[in-house]
Homo-oligomer: A and B are copies of this chain.
Amino acid sequence: MKLREFQSYLRKNKIGAAIFAHPDPCITYFTQMVPSHAVLCITPKKATFLITKLDKMKKVSGIDIQYFSKDWKKKLSKKTEKLGVNKQSLTVSSLENMKKMFPKAKVVDVSSTLTKLRETKTKKEIQCISKACKITSNAFDALIQELPKKKLHTEQDVAFFLERHFQKEGGEVAFPTIAAVGKNAAIPHHVTSNALLQRGFLLIDFGAKYKNYCADMTRMIFLGKPSEEEKGWYNLLYTSQEDARLAVADGVKYSELDKTARKSLGKYEKKFIHSLGHGIGLEVHENPVFSNGKVKHNVPFTIEPGIYFPGKFGLRIEDTVIFDGKLKVLTVASKKLPEIAGW
């Protein structure tokens, strides 16, 4: 993506070369590949991508892909006074190795430029994210059809069912699925276990990946028939998420959306122990971060308020959304609380 824009930035800033060492999501950003081991060197005029024979050689527009050879360092060690690196991903020891390869170069950080480039998505990126969200939503719908059959018995069964569905539709798993019953759902990042499904709320936080781009969605399911109090918790949170969604407009601060969701929770605001959301794209969590920044066109993000009662239960509702003049919810699965009979 946006290779030319990045090369133009290098030219303007007289950066002779930018080097990326695996692991770095920017490698996938520019090459659309997820290599086992690789070095990517971008100059104002050229992009050279070195991979090992462990990986499949592909053709990528604008990128010269080669296998590592014994003299690979010579291929890169051109004279440059300024060397660009991504300090957000590069390890200290990799930087030290690079300095040996370019002993005279001044090292400059290109991470903020990369962040800006990556934050606003191209049409193609939005298509991939939308498709990932569609696959995720379809998996949820399939789960709602499957649960009454009583073939899924544990949190892990639920997670496997969803992840298996991703593959049926050509997707991959963006991050380990969180399936949480009872008090497990009070831990926002609960590690899906072999806990048995039981009457009550089932939280699922999951997402497919399509052509390296991620979806992120959380839905609540009620196993059995919820009491009025239980419906009340769900409706409180639903309204909080809806209020945040309705507050989205061009230039509104993410922190304002966060405040809106919290205000909507009233006295239960303190039970909402994390941020309202995060940017999403190649990485499940990427820029923008909600502590700064404003809603912009074509920058996808999540809206995910939650309320947690340690040792008891927890609820979260999450959508991946994008603003393009108006808000589009990409994770289209229904947010009406499904009630599954038989528990």
| Contact surface of A with B, Cβ cutoff 8 Å | 34, 36, 52-56, 85, 87-93, 95-96, 109, 111, 156, 160, 164, 167, 170, 187-191, 194, 273-274
Contact = CB atoms under 8 A, between A and B. Distances in A.
Contacts of A91: 87-92
User: Secondary structure of the A side of the interface?
Assistant: loop
Given A54-B187, A88-B93, A91-B91, 8 more contacts: A52-B274, A53-B274, A87-B92, A88-B91, A90-B91, A93-B109, A160-B160, A160-B164
The 9 closest A-B pairs by CB, nearest first: A87-B92, A87-B93, A54-B189, A54-B188, A53-B273, A56-B187, A36-B189, A156-B167, A90-B92
B188 A167 contact: no
Contacts of A53: 188, 273-274
Contacts of A95: 92
Contacts of A93: 87-88, 109, 111
Nearest to A164: B160
B194 A167 contact: yes
Nearest to A55: B189
Contacts of A52: 274
Most interface-central of A91, A92, A96, A191 (chain B CB within 10 A): A92
16 contacts: A36-B189, A53-B273, A54-B187, A54-B273, A54-B274, A55-B187, A56-B187, A56-B191, A85-B92, A87-B92, A88-B93, A89-B91, A92-B95, A93-B109, A160-B167, A170-B194
A33 to B, nearest CB: 10
A271 to B, nearest CB: 11
A109 B87 CA distance: 18
Contacts of A109: 92-93
A194 B169 CA distance: 10
A55 B85 CA distance: 32
Contacts of A55: 187, 189
Contacts of A96: 87
A156 B90 CA distance: 33
